[in-house]
Structure 1
Amino acid sequence: MTRIALGEALLFLAPFLLFAGYLVIRRRSPFQVAAWEGSVSWLVVAGLALAVGAFVVTGITAERETGAYVPSHLENGQVVPGQFR
Structure 2
Amino acid sequence: MIRVIITQVILFLLPFILYAAYLFLTRKINKRAWIDAPRYWLVLAGILFCLAGFITMSVVNNNPLSGTYVPAHFDGDKVVPGQIMSE
Q: How high is the TM-score relative to the length of structure 1?
A: 0.72
Correspondence 1:13 to 2:18: no
Distance in structure 1 (CA, Å) of the matches to 2:67 and 2:61: 18
Structure 1, unaligned runs of 5 or more: 73-80
In 2, Cα distance between equivalents of 1:51 and 1:70: 28
Structure 1 counterpart SS, 2:63: coil
- Supply the AA of the counterpart residue of 1:18: L
Does the alignment pair 1:57 with 2:56? yes
Match of 1:75 in 2: none
Instruction: Indicate the RMSD between aligned Cα atoms, in angstroms.
Output: 2.5
Structure with larger Rg: 1
TM-score, normalised via structure 2 length: 0.70
The residue identity in structure 2 corresponding to 1:51 is: C
Where do 5+ consecutive residues of structure 2 fail to align?
72-81
Percent identical: 27
Runs of 4+ residues over 6 Å off in structure 1:
none
The alignment of Structure 1 onto Structure 2 pairs a total of residues equal to 75
Equivalent residue letter for 1:35: A
